[in-house]
Each structure stands twice: as C-alpha cells, then as structure tokens.
Amino acid sequence: MKMHKKTHQQFAICLRADEDDMLTPRRIYQVLADESAAKSNYLRVIDDEGEDYLYPMDNFVLVEFAPNVEHALLEAA
C-alpha cells in the first residue's frame, strides 16, 4: 500500500491591504507554495474572491495552527 505524505498547509494573517487589493486586514488567508514568488518577497494567497494572487510578503504574518484547526479552516473555505 502506498503511503501519501500529508501536506502541511500554510496560512497568513493580512496586516494591511491597498484599496485595490482583494484582501481584508486581520483575516486569515491560505498560502499556496510558490518558490519563485517567495524569492521576490511575495506570497501567493487565495484572496477574498477565491482566486490565487501574489501580494507583498510585508502585508502578512505567517502563522501555524494545529492540524485540526488547519482542517477546520480549509473546510470553511
């Protein structure tokens, strides 16, 4: 039987947003892995419209949650 490695989800809290951003300060966002974006100090997040988009890393703080909280956040999305 093949074992699947459980992927760790990453989340960030928005600290600030520009007027034209589809973000809400103090809201938790799911972060998608994007090494190229990270090298340029950007995060790829699922924004308020449900689309993944690049935003400046300085606008967020990365947070870690217990697995059951991660699961609940993903279910609520």
Residue 4, pLDDT score: 44
Give the integer Cα–Cα distance in Å for 77 and 72: 9
Give the integer Cα–Cα distance in Å for 4 and 51: 27
Model pLDDT for residues 34-61, shown as the tens digit of each residue: 999 999 999 999 999 999 999 999 999 9
Indicate the pTM of the whole model: 0.83
Model pLDDT for residues 1-24, shown as the tens digit of each residue: 444 445 678 999 999 998 888 999
Domain boundaries, the chain: 10-15+28-76
Q: Which residue has the tokens 């090494």?
A: 35
User: Which tokens sit at 62?
Assistant: 């990365």
Residue 61, pLDDT score: 98
